[in-house]
Copies of this chain bind each other. A is one copy, B any other.
Amino acid sequence: MARAPDRIRVRRVPELGRYDRPAIESILDRGLVAHVAFVDRGEPVCIPLLHARVGEKLYVHGSTASRAMRTLAAGEPACVTVTLVHGLVLARSAFEHSANYESVVVFGRFEQVSDEAERLTAFRLFTEKLLPGRWDEVRPPLAKELKATTILALPIEEASAKIRSGPPEDDETEDAELEIWAGELPFVTSYGEPVPSPGLRAGIPVPASVRALLEPAETGSA
């Protein structure tokens, strides 16, 4: 593996570090929320934002009136972290307890997206990221809605992934002799029953986009 640039090198547990683009993109694409950090008057601020990736850019959006959006739009340095937690790692020792997870950290500076076609594309991406197929079901953004929205793009250039998976670390130690259960407890995330909006007009069925998400669970297949 090529040596990663200094800032993104995973120092503590180097064997967990991944710098290849497929790993990075896969984690970004499966993560709904990004934690976006920036510096405001010398102090760190970290906020959760929905995001969407296309190609080598990571998009976020927010109100044009948002202070965070204005700071990020000014091209201040940012750090975007996306974390997926997959389960608990239960060791014999308290010390080796952990979680299985995947995370990506991207460093860079956001750029404001001003091209109208790219802005509309980003809106489509945000909608499709939340729920694939949804864009074709909904009313597209109006000019005034686009105008009220700041869309920012971060080039995914300085990025690294960190992945912890598998059993606890103490299988090969004398702790393995202890009369203590050790293993993994996976998290399982699924969707509940759709809740119609109180103001939903009568006779409008659950749409194809939602049914497509729920069907695998309903039929019991993957």
Contact = CB atoms under 8 A, between A and B. Distances in A.
B191 A92 contact: no
B126 A97 contact: yes
A111 interface: no
Interface in A110-163: 123-124, 126-127, 130-131, 134-135, 137-142, 145, 149
**Size class of the A contact interface (CB-based, 8 Å):** 35 or more
A138 B197 contact: no
Given A35-B81, A93-B145, 8 more contacts: A35-B37, A43-B79, A46-B80, A93-B142, A97-B131, A97-B138, A137-B180, A168-B197
A79 to B, nearest CB: 4
Interface in A160-188: 167-168, 171-172, 175-188
28 contacts: A12-B65, A12-B67, A33-B99, A35-B83, A37-B44, A39-B43, A42-B77, A44-B77, A44-B79, A46-B105, A93-B139, A93-B145, A94-B123, A94-B126, A99-B130, A131-B185, A167-B195, A167-B198, A171-B197, A179-B204, A181-B196, A181-B205, A181-B206, A182-B197, A183-B194, A185-B210, A185-B213, A186-B195
A147 to B, nearest CB: 11
B134 A97 contact: yes
A138 B93 contact: yes
A218 interface: no
Interface string A33-60: 1011111001111111010000000000
- Stoichiometry, copies per complex: 2
A185 B194 contact: yes
Nearest to A89: B130
Interface string A63-74: 101110000000
Contacts of A172: 199
Closest 9 CB pairs of A and B: A171-B199, A37-B46, A186-B192, A37-B37, A35-B35, A37-B44, A167-B197, A95-B145, A182-B197
A122 to B, nearest CB: 11
A88 interface: yes
A38 to B, nearest CB: 5
